[in-house]
Structures are given as C-alpha cells and as structure tokens.
Amino acid sequence: MSLAIDTTDSGTTSLFTTPDPSPSTEHKADVFPNPYHSPVTNYSGPLNLFAMPDLSIEADHKSQDVFVNPFHSKAVAQELITTARALVYPRGKGVYATDETPDAIAAVLHTAAGGTGNPPSGTSDDEKEKRRKWREAAYNAIPSEHISGVILHSETLLTFQLAPILSSKGIIPGVRANGELRPLPHYQHEFIVQGLDGLLPELQAARIAGARFSKWRCPIACTSAARGLPSEAALDAHAETLAQYASLSQQAGLVPIVEPDVEFTEDADLARSAWVHERAIARIYERCRVHGVLLEGSLIKPSFPQPGMKHPSREGVSPEDIALATATTISRAVPSAVPGVLFLSGGLAPKVATAYLDATNKLVNAAGPESPLARLPPLSFSFGRALQGDAAQCWIRGDEEGTKEALGTWARACWLGAQGQGE
C-alpha cells in the first residue's frame, strides 16, 4: 500500500495520515535451577519526516506512571502504554493469532475438511474468498470477554479490511510484521528473518487501516549442547532484528510484540531449552535498550521451555515441570517494565498448550511475597491453532453455530488458564 506525500510551499514533507487519539510442609523450590548449579513520534530534532504525526502537539497529556525519555513523544508513549496494558488486562484476556500466510491457512482449512495429500495453493481466487469468509466468521464469533486482541495477516487487514469487525467488539486489531526466512550465512539449519527494509511505511499503512499493535516472529533453533544450536551468530541476529523492528513499530504508533520462538523438534532437554530461552530473551532486551524501545509500550510472545521431541524425557515431563522452567525464565530475562507475556502455542495440541499456561499461572498464584515469581506480569496467551482447530472443522462443514461454540469454548479455557483457574 502506498502513502501519498505532500510537499508544501515551505519545503517540508508530511504524510496524509490522520492522527487517532484512541487506542504441605514439604519444601518445594520455586526457581528452576540451571544444570550447573547445585541442587507516530514527534521528534525535536532532527525531524523524522516519515514518522507518524504526534497525537497532540499542545497536549494536555494524561498523568503517567512512567518516566518518558525525551526522544519519545509523551502522547504516543501514553497510547502505546495504554494499548499494551489493554492487551493483557484484565488478567486472563489474551490474543488470538490469525496471521498465517495464504498457503498456511489453505492448509489449515484443507486439513479441517479431512483432506489428504497436498493442500491447494492459497493464491487462487476460490481459496482467497474461502479464507476471507473464514476470517470473517471467526472474527464475528470470537468472544470479546476473553480475547483482547487479534493478530491479522496484512491481506486480512488491508485487502479484506476486516479490522472494523474486531474494533466494533472492543477487540484490538494487530498486524503481522515479519517477512520470510532466509538461511543465516555459514550456519546450517539456522535462519534470519527478512522485512526490515521498507517496514516503517508498511506499519504506518497498517495503523491507518486500524491496527494498534504488531508482531514479529523469529524462529530459534535449539538442540543439545553437544550439537551446539543456537549459534551465537543467530542469537545476535535475532536480537538485533527484533529490537530494530520494535523501535520501528513504536515509531509508527503500534505496540510491538517480539516473538522469540524456540523450536522443540530436536534433542534438547528441559534445562537446555530453558537456558536457550533465557539467553535469547535477555539478549533481545539488551538490544531493545540500545534502540530506545519503550519497554512499557511493548510485549513479548515467547514459547514454553520444553524438552525436544527427540529427547527421551519428553514423554515424562509434566505441566508442573514446564511451569517452573517457564516462570523462572521469565523472571530472569524479561524486564519488569514489560506489561505482560503472551505465550505462543507453537503447534502444541490445544489441551497441552492450555495445561502449560494453567500450570504456570497456578505456580505464580501460589508464590509467596518473597518469591521472584510473585513479581511477574500477567502471563497470558497468543494462540492460533490451539484456539481455532475445532472451530475450523465446524466452519468447513457449514456449522456456524458450532464454529462460535468451539471458539468460545477454547477462548474461555485459555482465559481460565491465564488466571491459573483451569479445570
């Protein structure tokens, strides 16, 4: 989508964008031990000609509970903080991820229909219309009492223009920002994510179309220490990419959600996975500080630390084991300024993903005031497949009532899990 630019008589340049003001006595450890331990910006100068105009220049700003550095507009900072908090409060609410590519959603619907073999290409007109109808049905069905936001693919936001359905229900629309993967030079089995070039105007277009947050995913390889993944080069590349993205997103007036997705298909045990998560997340925030990211106006969407599918311990790991590793990792690596955490399901079965979420929040609920877990922000969800799998099967059969019921059932289950009240 192109944005018109007007050059005035004074020689300054401005975007045709409209500022939007809305937006037992047995001792149990509460810390997961690592194995090596014993048991839209108005800049004062230089003016950024491609930034979102400030929401208010004369600004009677709301009182803030965050000190804003001078390179952030107070009005934009306030909106970013308000939006970020609205995505994770009241506690329990979470985000519905619907940002699959056209080919990926074609595969989802093909599987839901019981199809075998290769799914159809997502580029055909018939498939395009099918996914538009599916998205529209899902957005109309999703319950606003349990869902705070929805991540849209750019096609859904800009071409199908379905954000108003969500906004009318009080659900915040967001947009997928990351591009495609390409191999990391000299490092087999690792990738970097493309899309930073030209990202700012794309995010500005998304804001004009109604988005108020964005999301960027980086996949991170994870193997046993002997096999050595992830590499330092990959961790550095992902941290730098996510930090640059987050800064650009805030410049466009969108809350950034950084997504370090640590894969679990290989031979890492739980301790190795937790260690990789901690290193990756900590490094991301190191780079975010360098790039001036307003942490209070951002969120993170991590995976759950877990043994890899090729590690023998995977079958015996419990949700409580996952919860301890997860909560400890978050307490060590995520700065307290970040308003909340939205876990991804990452291909886990719905019951497994919600069990991990629930166990983690139950652990936090039980933490005493002296525990670091008592100081964690809301630990919520940003699930896709774990929310919509049953609903897609109903919809493909033409059962709209079943679609609504299935989405409502799983949204409520996630909402309960995000409070540690799962059944």
Q: Which residues are catalytic?
A: 259, 301
Nearest to 197 by CA among 179, 211, 181: 179
Calpha distance 177→101 (Å, rounded)? 12
Q: What are the tokens at 227?
A: 């096999």
List helix spans (H) across 70-225.
74-88, 102-112, 125-141, 154, 163-167, 199-208
Token pair 């908090």 is at which residue?
Answer: 85
CB 250 within 8 A of CB 52: no
Q: Where are the beta strands (DSSP E) in 185-295?
A: 191-193, 213-220, 255-262
- Residues 6 or more apart whose CB falls under 8 angstroms from that of 36 comprise none
Token pair 């922000």 is at which residue?
Answer: 377
Calpha distance 330→346 (Å, rounded)? 18
Greatest CA separation found in the chain? 77
User: What are the residues facing 191 on neighbouring strands?
Assistant: 183
Nearest to 359 by CA among 323, 386, 390: 323
Calpha distance 12→2 (Å, rounded)? 19
